[in-house]
């Protein structure tokens, strides 16, 4: 398991506590993403679930901590942080890099006998589909252009030199973690998997998203929405309604 990267509450944010919740959702942010970015998602999914959002090191209130550039190390640390939070059925939801990370945490939880009730992955090709990428080695200008193209970060944020100097290291680090990740073959998950993707996502095709079916023996469904890589932020109503419906079905 990973070394000590801080106590559980360092990793987990709960914007909308729900005492007595019958189900929890754990949200895994995308590369460069932070917990606060998922506040609207938390609000949308907070009935009937209690939503927990992960905060990776190297950003916002954890900006003084070193980033973790290895996805497996991140998965180990998060799995440890979630111990004690699995007393009710738990759904894992991850977008982009967060989808791969959620998958790896799901594998670890299943191996420990605490399988999630469902895994929901968004905007990410299935784990074994290796596509050589090197965004993390780009120049600053190239990295900004790439992130801007995906519409995942406010252009005004990247235009401010001071803010840019704070957020780019985390973005680069996360891209390194995602791009150097290599799937290790092992048992398929047993929990249901729901894959969501945009029909105009430059990062993943519908066919690539459909291959998540190969990674579970449980139920699988593929949901395609209008939009690009951040379809659930640019046109959130339909995907968030679907997530809420699928999460409620797990209770």
- Known catalytic residues? 96
Cβ-contact 119, 194 below 8 angstroms: yes
- The burial of 101, by beta-carbon neighbours within 10 Å (0-12 exposed, 13-18 middle, 19 or more buried), is given as buried
The DSSP secondary structure of 212-229, one letter per residue, reads GGGGBSS-EEEEEESSST
Strand 50-54 and strand 90-95: the pairing is: unpaired
CA distance 216 to 59: 33
CA distance 24 to 67: 26
190 CB-side CA count, 13 A: 7
Residue with tokens 């989808």: 99
Give the bridge partners for 91, in sequence order. 25, 118
CA distance 21 to 137: 43
Cβ-contact 198, 170 below 8 angstroms: no
């Amino acid at each position: 398991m990973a070394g000590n990267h801080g106590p559980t509450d360092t990793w987990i944010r709960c914007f909308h506590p729900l005492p007595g919740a019958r189900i929890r959702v754990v949200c895994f942010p995308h590369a460069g993403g932070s917990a606060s970015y998922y506040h609207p998602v938390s609000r949308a999914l907070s009935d009937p679930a209690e939503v927990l959002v992960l905060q990776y090191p190297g950003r916002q209130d954890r900006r003084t901590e070193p980033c973790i550039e290895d996805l497996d190390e991140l998965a180990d640390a998060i799995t440890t942080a979630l111990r004690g939070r699995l007393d009710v059925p738990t759904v894992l939801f991850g977008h982009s890099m967060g989808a791969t990370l959620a998958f790896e945490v799901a594998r670890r939880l299943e191996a420990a006998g605490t399988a999630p009730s469902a895994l929901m992955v968004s905007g990410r090709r299935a784990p074994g589909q290796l596509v050589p990428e090197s965004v993390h080695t780009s120049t600053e200008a190239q990295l900004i252009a790439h992130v801007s193209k995906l519409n995942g970060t406010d252009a005004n944020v990247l235009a401010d030199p001071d803010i840019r100097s704070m957020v780019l290291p985390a973005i680069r680090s996360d891209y390194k973690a995602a791009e150097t990740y290599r799937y290790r073959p092992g048992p398929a998950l047993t929990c249901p998997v729901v894959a969501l993707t945009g029909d105009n996502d430059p990062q993943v095709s519908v066919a690539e998203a459909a291959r998540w079916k190969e990674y579970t023996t449980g139920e699988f469904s593929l949901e395609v929405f209008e939009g690009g890589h951040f379809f659930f932020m640019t046109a959130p109503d339909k995907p968030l309604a679907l997530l809420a419906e699928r999460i409620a079905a797990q209770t």
